[in-house]
Structure formats: C-alpha cells, structure tokens
Structure 1
Amino acid sequence: MQAKVVIVGSLNMDLVTRAPRLPRAGETLAGQSFVTVPGGKGANQAVAAARLGASVAMIGCVGDDAYGEQLRTALLAEGIDCQAVTPVSGESTGVALIVVDDSSQNAIVIVAGGNGHVTASVVDSFDALLSGADVIICQLEVPLDTVGHVLKRGHELGKTVILNPAPASGPLPAEWFAWVDYLIPNESEATALTGLPVDSTASADAAASALLKAGVSKVIVTLGEQGALFASASRSEHFPAPKVQPVDTTAAGDTFVGGFAAALADDKSESDAIRFGQVAAALSVTRSGAQPSIPTFAEVQASAAHSAAQGHQS
C-alpha cells in the first residue's frame, strides 16, 4: 500500500543527560542520568501520524553509524515505510546533545549530520512516494532549498501540503506561501515569521492575518494550553485546548501536526482534524520524552469519548 502521509524531514538521536544545573564554561559536572531517545521533528511527526492511524513513509538521511540503524529500526517498528531513509557514507547521524537541570531548564547543541544531506536529488529519487501521498509534511531541520523543492513539488502534484516552520528564526521565502495548504507555527515561530508578538488568541489572529496576506492558504497557530487559532480567507476560529496536567511538553507540537495530518488523510473535516490533533497533543504532554510520549489512535479515541461523557454529565 502506498503511503497516505509522507514526511520529508529530520531524524536525530537525542542524547539527554540530567545534572543539578547547567555547567559553566570550562566546568565539569557530575550528571545524574543519561538516555538516548529517538527524535528529530521529521521522525517525531512520522511516528505520530503512524500511531494515529495513517499509512506513513519517511524521506530523510542518517549516517552510516549505529545511531542511524537504531533510528531506522525504531521507525520500522512503528510500521513506517523506510525505503527512503537513506544512509550517507562517512557521515554521522544527526544528534541533539541535551543537558537538563533540576529546574527543567536545558541547553541543547544540535549537529545536523545526515540531515544536511537531504537534497532535492535525494527527494526526487523517491518521487513515487510523493505521488502516492495524500498529505506531504515538511519542517525546517533539513536544508531550506530542499524544503522549498518539496513544497513546490507537492503543490504541483495537487497534494495537501503542510509546513511546520520549526525552528523558524525569521521570515520564509515569499514564493513558498503559494505552495503551502496549511502553515502550522507555534507562538514563537509565528512571531519569527511576521515580526508580531504572539502570546494570545487575539495576537495569534493578527499574525495569521499577516501570513494570509503574504499568500498562505490556511494557518493554524498552536498556542499550548491556550489551544489553537485557525484562520483562512473566509473564517477565523479558536479551538480551546483539552485541560490536562502537563508533565513534559516535548514533541507536543509534532504530535499535533502528525495527528492533524493523519485525520486529514482519513478524510476527516478540517475542524475535526484540528480537534483530533489537539487531543493527541494533550495526551502527549502528560508523559515524558519525545516519541515515547506520543499516543495511539485508540488512546485518543478513548480520551475523546471520556471527555464527551464528562461534558454530558456536567
């Protein structure tokens, strides 16, 4: 079966250590724990879409090292098509070196490794996957030229194209906007794209309006516990977030994007897809870690049914 959702993006191994505090320059600290966790925004979104009901393929690059094999194995275990997860000879797999202190502040160093080798020619060699997709997702953790190439190709093929502009540090190339069906930034990314401060539903609406004027078809600004703001040329709507007790917000945005895409690929309405992604993201923040926190389709269904039952009782 050809994939309904194709993700072109990053695969990282997260190397996470905990310490009482972040080290100063030249200082050696005794850490408390160390774990390796599969990550990268592209891989996280692929896992989310797969667990949440979609048939998924991943296009990306890893190194010819043990981490690359581990990341590929982890995706295969989720039922993800990895024919286009390409090892690069003589290169390391992308890593994120993360130190977390006792107050949950962190310091992160990212090394692109294989992710820097996701070129337009690599993508073109798997054009059949793009042609077979219903939804194509990109982020900004692979070369920007490649992202633009994928957005344009997805638009040419008539696919639903989603861009999660993370991590965004400034405006995007103007020509991209015409190729994107859904632009999904968080508050800080919306600020980076527009120069407007985004910290509320009203300010998110103003940023979304600016992005629509720039040529984007539809915008969803994710606002954490404040929910999400959807905007198009014809309407603007706020979707409140499910109320949960957060433990760790890592990969909540990736879970939303993957869940939203999976629901769209299953022919759900736009509003239902947003709500589905929100329930999935809310469940993810009640658990620790990136990919380990992402819920399954059955868990989201059960949570939505439980919330509906409580709503009828109140």
Structure 2
Amino acid sequence: MSTAVLGQIARDLVLLTEAVPGPGGTVDVHRRLELLGGKGANIAVTLAQLGARPALVGVVGDDETGARLVQRCVEDGIDVRGVRRRRGTESALMVDVVTDDGQHRYLEHVPSATLLTGDDLDPLGGLVEECDSAVLQLQQPAAAVRCALGMLRARGALVVLDGVLEDESHREPVVAGADVVRMDAREAELWAGRRIRDPEDAARVAADVLRLGPGLVVLAVGDQGDVVVTPQDRLLLPQVDTPVVDTTGAGDAFVGTLTWALTSGRDPVEAARRGCAAAALTVGRPGGRPALSPGAVEELAATITPSPLG
C-alpha cells in the first residue's frame, strides 16, 4: 500500500550568503541550490527515501519548470498520477536565503492557480483505492481539503494533517475527521489564538485538539522540542542537539517520517520519536530537501528520551 500526499509543489532556489544586504547593497552568494520543493513534495520525498510508496497530489504550471518538477518527482520514486499541470500558469517558486549565522528568509511566489481545487482531486479517487494513509498539507484551500478528507474517510485511510487551515470556520470540522494532527510552533499559536508559553501550555492546547477526534496530536514548542499527546500520554520529546544550517524542511521531514512510522506499525510515541530524528537530520543541510535513510532515523531516534508532562 502507499501514502497519498496532498500539498504544494514548487521550485526551491536556495541561496547561501554571508549576510543579507541593506537597501542598495550587494553581497556575494557563495552557494546556490535548485531543488524540488514545496511542503507536499518534501513530505513525499521523505516517504520515498524511507522506502514508502508515496503518491503526490498537487499542481504545477505548464511551464518548463513544471515539467522539470514532475520529472524530478518521478526520479525520486514518487507516483505523479495526481499531479495536475495547470494550463496558463507559472509553477510556484520558493527562494530560501540562508546566511552564515544560520538565519533564513523566505520569498515565495505561489500563484493562486497552483493551489488545489475540487476538480483537481479526480485522480485521487483511483489513488485512494491503493492508499492506506494520506497526508493533507493545510496550505491548500479548505474546500479542496474537505473534499479530499471525505474521500479518504470513506476509504478508511489513516489521515495525517500537517498545519492549520487559514479559514477558521473549517478548522474544527477538518481536525475532527483526522487521525493525526501535527502543527509547528507558529501554527499551534494560530490555532490557539494566543501565545503558547511552554511545553505544559502546549500540552493543554494539544489536549483540546485531541478532544475533537484525533488519536495523536504533536505540537512543536520553539526550540524546546515537540509535545506529543494521545489519550494515554502527555510527553515532551526534546529537540535533538545537532548542528543547524537551515531549518527549512524540518517539519516536512517530521511529518513524512511520522506517517511512515505509523504505517509501519510503530505506536504513536515511537513514531513521533522518529519524526524528531528525521527533523534533526534535515536541519544540517541547506534547503528543504531531506537526505534520510531508515537506519539513520532509527539510530538517532534511539537517543531521544521522552519526558512526561503534567
């Protein structure tokens, strides 16, 4: 069986430089990378590197960039039957400027036509019959997400949500239909509508999310780690102390690895430990593209010790 991933597909341009210039200034770029990117594609690449069979559902333009992105997906072992090439639009572009101090700035050009619509989900019907799990990346419009969710629930697939919907009126109904919810620190505060002070506070927010229906909620808490809440557990998985070059893509690696581990039979806490390990292995590289293997993930996950929360 395979995992469907609904989400963004983009060209990633990563620029490594000493510093960001001020108005009228110039700095040299000492390294440039051009990659397959976007959260949906990054999650699918993560799954493929770990030995899963991901199918990507998303939109690229009918430009040369779109053709290259689809070809790269194929080379990465990703099923592209669900990728729509939208006539008359440009493919999305992400520019990631990384300075020597480890800070990054993002510039994004995401044409509205590169977002999913209900019509784009036609191929999902066939893919769902082959999938036992799916990741819904919530940067997509609420209507498309809810349409996909309905199809997946009817199939009985494991549904993992990544992020939070921009449209507040759809947030709770979508979460109620999911099995797993993962939010980064910014998304968790957007959901809560307030600042989250510490892991204990995050655990309370996660417990509120859990009451809507999911069986597992994972919230990132700044540089302290990830809070994992299930009906049985409230735990903090500490952030792994590894060299950080660029945090881009860490959350995508977490979500892809979490899904892989759950579908491989790991319990929720063990799956989240592997997600933390994958994120730590990704931040040591520039850009959002991971470079993972099951062995490396398992080895690092074994060093992560959960701490109980009240």
Conserved? CA contact 2:177–2:213, under 8 Å:
no
Determine the structure 1 residue equivalent to 2:5. 7
One-letter amino acid matched to 1:40: G
Determine the structure 2 residue equivalent to 1:220. 218
Cα distance in 2, alignment partners of residues 224 and 115 from structure 1 = 33
* Residues 111-132 of structure 1: per-residue CA shift (max 9 Å, x gap): 2237634211211333111222
Match of 2:107 among 106, 109, 112: 109
SS in 2 for 1:124: helix
User: Offset at 1:24?
Assistant: 5.1
Conserved? CA contact 1:218–1:232, under 8 Å:
yes
Cα distance in 1, alignment partners of residues 216 and 131 from structure 2 = 20
* Runs of 5+ unmatched residues, structure 1: 309-314
Determine the structure 2 residue equivalent to 1:259. 257
Matched, 1:125 2:123: yes
Match of 1:141 among 132, 136, 139: 139
Sequence identity percentage? 28
* Residues 157-178 of structure 1: per-residue CA shift (max 9 Å, x gap): 2111111116869675321122
Using the size of structure 1 for normalisation, the TM-score is 0.86
Determine the structure 2 residue equivalent to 1:312. none
Cα distance in 1, alignment partners of residues 299 and 212 from structure 2 = 39
User: Offset at 1:179?
Assistant: 0.8
Tell which deviates more after alignment, 265-274 or 52-61: 265-274
Cα distance in 2, alignment partners of residues 142 and 40 from structure 1 = 12
Cα distance in 2, alignment partners of residues 219 and 196 from structure 1 = 18
Cα distance in 1, alignment partners of residues 166 and 214 from structure 2 = 16
SS in 1 for 2:200: helix
* Residues 199-246 of structure 1: per-residue CA shift (max 9 Å, x gap): 421121121123234444431112365332121344322233433232
Determine the structure 2 residue equivalent to 1:288. 286
User: Offset at 1:280?
Assistant: 1.6
Cα distance in 1, alignment partners of residues 170 and 222 from structure 2 = 23
Determine the structure 1 residue equivalent to 2:47. 49
One-letter amino acid matched to 2:108: I
Greater fraction strand:
2
Matched, 1:299 2:274: no
Match of 1:245 among 243, 248, 260: 243
Match of 1:74 among 65, 72, 75: 72
One-letter amino acid matched to 2:11: M
* Runs of 5+ unmatched residues, structure 2: 305-310
One-letter amino acid matched to 1:90: G
SS in 2 for 1:173: helix
Cα distance in 2, alignment partners of residues 270 and 146 from structure 1 = 27
SS in 2 for 1:300: helix
Query: Quick one: structure 1 residues 52 and 107, their matched pair in 2 at CA, closer, same or farther if it must change by over 3 Å?
Result: same
Matched, 1:198 2:196: yes
Cα distance in 2, alignment partners of residues 228 and 19 from structure 1 = 30
Using the size of structure 2 for normalisation, the TM-score is 0.87
One-letter amino acid matched to 2:293: T
When the two structures are aligned, how many residues end up with a matched partner? 303
